[in-house]
Amino acid sequence: MEAVADTGTAPMGLRQRISRALENPTVLGFLFVAPAELILLIFLAYPFFLGLWLGLTDTLVGREGHYIGFANYISLLHDSSFWLAVFNTFVYTVVAVFLKAVLGVGLAVVLNRDFKAKGLIRAIVLLPWIIPTALSAICFWWLYDSTFSGISWTLKRFGFIDHFIDFLGDPWNARFSLIAANVWRGVPFFTIGLLAGLQTINPDLYEAADIDGASSWKKFWKITLPLLTPLLTVVTIFSTIWTFADFQLVWIITKGGPAGATHIFGTLSFQRAMQGGHFGEGAAISNFMLPILVVCVFIAFLFLRKED
Amino acid sequence: MAIERAGAKIVKFYIPLILYLLFLLFPFYWMFNTVFKSDNELYNMNINPLYIHNPTFSNIVTLFKETIFLRWMGNTFFVAITATLIALAASLLAAYAIQRLRFKTSGPTGVAIFLSYLIPQTILFIPLAHIIFKLRLWDSLWSLVLTYPTFLIPFCTWLLMGYFKSIPKEMEECAMIDGASRIRIFRKIILPLCLPGILSAGIFCFTLSWNEYIYALAFISTTAKKTVPIGLVTELVRGDVYHWGPLMAGALCASVPVALVYAFFVEHYVAGLTGALKE
């Protein structure tokens, strides 16, 4: 066999050898994975490690920096606006993810029955998730206007408030306005994700509970929620990461204001790096997210595992 | 009994559903409502702002006349479609290799690609800006075309791996016994079978690219090269002057392509989302 292949014409031999090599799963596997891995190595893995390095330098935009050890990190730890951003990020993440989970599960339970136009309602529910966040953020920005807000007008009309709400001018109002916008965008993800899980729950379980005379509330706590927990864990972890590392909603609606009261990690690092030109410091702020991200995911995972 | 049951249905189903829909749809309503109002009406709080008294297209006209909105749309289309194609091609090959070829390091490769999905863009944009600057791609749409696949590929690969898993191995084995090469099997059997998966992945990539904000904000500075969301905010808000009417018109018009793609492929979209979560 070998001899025959060797005496064949050269181009045919090469071609045969290539096509034979392509039958080898290892060779073909590496070839197939190569494009994806190359892109991810150059534009994801490399910047990831470069970011760790930049945090240790005094790099400015367009100028190479020098190694300065942990100076960026130490100066941030003495920076009150950094600590405010840490506080804001935690409030934003914890409150928003909690509300998204509660409202998302609620809507999933409401939708988990047969009714007319189910497909249409489900499609409508997912809209806030589909529409580009930057564009809906512009809409919220306008909705939170201090003089022309439709929310304020309606509330005043029904006599709930006397004055128009200063949504974005007061620190806590601004924080909760951002959380509301984030919840609005994130509820559909929870709902549609969990709806698929609800549909796999065996209806016999509910029938058996009905025979035992269980209330709807009890059925929810004893059957629905426990069986939904694995999927809820996954959805919550994703949402936690996205909320924690959010940028565009906050950047468009408040730009971190009023007076830095709504800066989160992403917006503060963008401001310092892209607007202030301090790449090193900005990278250090971003890198502060890393351990917390890992811990967040870990805690969420452990906590929900225990509940199971 | 029947009345009681109907009452229960209203309390447990209709009322919550209506409240949820009000919450989820009100911002969209407000957007529509603003787009078709004149400035006089928009900034007059003595009349009910919840509906349009004298509808007008003036905001849309202003948007198209006074900004290069179509140019921004074109930029966004170009970046979204190119990045989607690159990501789809790379993910298809990678997902097939990881799921079906089972080469030596296919396990760790799969895990690594999954983990890369969890790294948020807010951590990467500064070092990426540094790299883009070095590559002389600063202020070029190619900087976005090259960086968007980094968040598209992990998701797509993950989604497509699920589809490849569902294709019976026997089909490949039969074709192999018949003497078909692996490449031929991939092209003639696997690709046609996972067309729905490719479609789902493509829709996701397109919407994710259209949605991207921070890279476009960080890497692009020339007005004519901006993507829609960046262009709208930077050009229609000048200092303290907010052109809310044209801004809302821009937000509405820029949502249309995504909404259309979504409306046509909603089933694929939902299947992709839930499929990816179940993996």
Q: Which of A121, A127, A130, A270 to mutate to test the interface with B (most CBs of B within 10 A)?
A: A130
A221 touches chain B (CB under 8 A): no
Supply A2's token pair.
Answer: 């070998």
Supply the ipTM of this predicted assembly: 0.88
Beta carbons within 10 angstroms of residue A161's beta carbon: 13
- Which of A224-233, A257-266, A275-284, A290-299 has the least mean pLDDT? A290-299
Among candidates A51, A132, A139 on the partner chain, residue whose Cβ is nearest the Cβ of B127: A51
Closest of B233, B142, B217 to residue A273, by C-alpha: B217
- Residue A145, pLDDT > 50, answer yes
Instruction: Rank A67-76, A116-125, B184-193 by mean pLDDT and report only the highest.
Output: A67-76
Comparing CA positions, the residue from A293, A287, A230, A308 lying closest to residue A77 is A287
The whole-angstrom separation of Cα A155 and Cα A163 is: 9
Mean pLDDT, 10 residues at a time, chain B of 279 residues = 73 87 91 85 78 83 87 94 95 89 78 81 92 90 94 90 82 80 82 86 90 92 90 80 86 88 80 68
- At residue A283, the pLDDT reads 93
Q: Mean pLDDT across chain A, nearest whole number?
A: 86
**CA A177, CA A145: separation in Å to the nearest integer?**
11
> What is the second-level CATH architecture of the domain A77-307?
Orthogonal Bundle (1.10)
Q: Which of A20-29, A31-40, A124-133, B204-213 has the lowest mean pLDDT?
A: A20-29
Q: Tokens 């830095």 belong to which residue?
A: A260
User: Do A233 and A306 meet the contact criterion of CB atoms below 8 Å apart?
Assistant: no
Q: Which two tokens stand for residue B53?
A: 């008294």
Give the three-class secondary structure for A9.
coil
How many Å is the maximal CA-CA distance in chain A? Answer: 96
Q: Note the CATH number of domain B62-278.
A: 1.10.3720.10
Statement: residue A230 has pLDDT above 60 = yes
Would you state the pLDDT for residue A7?
46
Query: How far is the C-alpha of A287 from the C-alpha of A292, rounded, in Å?
Result: 9
Q: Does A6 have pLDDT greater than 60? A: no
Lowest mean pLDDT among A20-24, A33-37, B54-58, B130-134: A20-24
Angle at A253 between CA A252 and CA A257, to 5 degrees: 105
Beta strands in A6-63 (DSSP E): none
A269 part of contact set with chain B, CB < 8 Å: yes
Q: How far is B245 from chain A (nearest CA, A)?
A: 10
Q: Give yes or no for residue A12 having a pLDDT over 70.
A: no
CA nearest B60: which of B255, B253, B260? B253
**CB nearest to B28's CB, from A22, A31, A127:** A127
Q: Facing residues of A57 across strands?
A: A67
pTM: 0.88
Q: Which of B104, B17, B54 is nearest to A125 (CA)?
A: B17
Q: What gap in Å lies between CA A84 and CA B264, rounded to an integer? A: 44
Query: Whole-angstrom Cα distance, residue A177 to residue A179?
Result: 5
- Contact at 8 Å (CB) between A279 and A231? no
Q: Are A219 and A135 in contact (CB under 8 A)?
A: no
Identify the CA nearest to B106 among candidates A84, A235, A28. Answer: A28
pLDDT band at A64 (very low <50, low <70, confident <90, very high): confident
Residue A267 and residue A55 in contact, taking contact as beta carbons nearer than 8 Å: no
**What is the spatial distance between Cα A119 and Cα A114, in angstroms, rounded to a whole number?**
10
> Which residue among A19, A44, A273 places its CB closest to the CB of B119?
A44
Task: State whether the Cα torsion B101-B103-B107-B113 is positive or negative.
Answer: negative
SS3 A183: helix
Q: pLDDT band for A2, please (50, 70, 90 cuts).
A: very low
**Are the CB atoms for A68 and B143 separated by under 8 Å?**
no
Residues of chain A with CATH 1.10.3720.10: 77-307
d(CA B221, CA A202): 55
Residue-wise pLDDT tens digits, A146-163: 888 888 888 888 888 888
Distances in Å between the Cα of A167 and the Cα atoms of A108, A137, A148 are: 30, 14, 11
Q: Which of B27, B116, B118 lies nearest to residue A143, judging by beta carbons? A: B27
Q: Are B129 and A275 in contact (CB under 8 A)?
A: no
The predicted structure's pLDDT at residue B37: 85
Q: In DSSP terms, which residues pair with A60 in a beta bridge?
A: A63
How many whole angstroms separate alpha carbon A201 and alpha carbon B58?
52
Min Cα distance B130 → chain A (Å) is 8
Q: Which residues of A touch B278 (CB under 8 A)?
A: 196, 231
Q: Do B126 and A273 touch (CB under 8 A)?
A: yes
Domain chopping of chain B, boundaries: 2-56, 62-278
Using one digit for the tens of pLDDT, what is the confidence trace for A214-226?
888 888 888 888 8
Report residue B2 CA to chain centroid gap: 45
Strand (E) or helix (H) holding A34 = helix A25-40
Using the Cβ of B51 and the Cβ atoms of chain A, whether some distance falls under 8 Å is answered with no
Given CB atoms, is A236 within the 8 Å cutoff of chain B?
A: no
